[in-house]
């Protein structure tokens, strides 16, 4: 369920940003924007999952954000070149990529927190830790009597 929520958030924000930049500024049709959103959202989410599973936690936010910038720049440029007659394809793809990268920088922190919480709940670590408790039954190896203690 957490993946569905994460994908829905990514698609909604991607659509909103592409609609503002491509639709309102550059006059791209709504059908093309929906298609761009679905393609870019699917590729970006798959890339995020690969990066977060493979890289060290210290660098994965930066690498994922830079990767999303490059992906958005290339994909939007290619799709605009193929499907939408825009006067300045470079400017449209650059502004789209910058806005999406700003969103992605915050999205990666939310994504990591959500996935860790889902993994924690899935493992049922509360139940497993209760089953791992043991009682200790032994005598002290070197008991100190009350009268032997220094005062």
Task: Pick the closest to residue 93 from 79, 77, 78, 104 (CA basis).
Answer: 77
The whole domain housing 18 covers 2-123
Please tell me the distance from the alpha carbon of residue 105 to that of residue 31, in angstroms, as a whole number: 27
Domains of the chain: total:
1
**Residue 74 forms part of a structural domain:** yes
**Residue 67 forms part of a structural domain:** yes
**Residue 129 forms part of a structural domain:** no
pLDDT score recorded for residue 31: 94
**Residue 146 forms part of a structural domain:** no
Count of CA atoms in the C-beta half-sphere (13 A) of 19:
10
What does the pLDDT look like over 114-131, one tens digit per residue? Answer: 877 877 777 765 554 555
Q: What is the CA radius of gyration of the chain?
A: 26
The answer on pLDDT for 47 being more than 90 is no
Banded pLDDT at 142 (limits 50, 70, 90): low
Angstrom CA distances, 24 to 17, 28, 81, 95, 151, stand at: 10, 8, 18, 13, 84
């Amino acid at each position: 369920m957490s993946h569905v929520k994460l994908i829905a958030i990514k698609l909604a924000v991607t659509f909103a940003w592409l609609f503002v930049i491509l639709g309102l500024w550059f006059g791209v049709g709504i059908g093309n924007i929906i298609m761009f959103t679905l393609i870019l959202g699917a590729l970006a989410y798959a890339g995020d999952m690969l990066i977060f599973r493979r890289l060290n936690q210290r660098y994965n936010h930066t690498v994922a954000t830079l990767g999303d910038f490059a992906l958005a720049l290339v994909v939007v440029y290619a799709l605009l070149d193929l499907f939408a007659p825009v006067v300045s394809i470079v400017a449209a793809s650059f502004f789209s990529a910058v806005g999406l990268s700003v969103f992605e920088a915050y999205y990666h922190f939310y994504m990591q927190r959500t996935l860790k919480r889902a993994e924690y709940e899935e493992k049922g670590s509360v139940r497993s830790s209760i089953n791992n408790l043991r009682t200790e039954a032994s005598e002290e190896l070197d008991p100190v009597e009350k009268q032997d203690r220094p005062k």
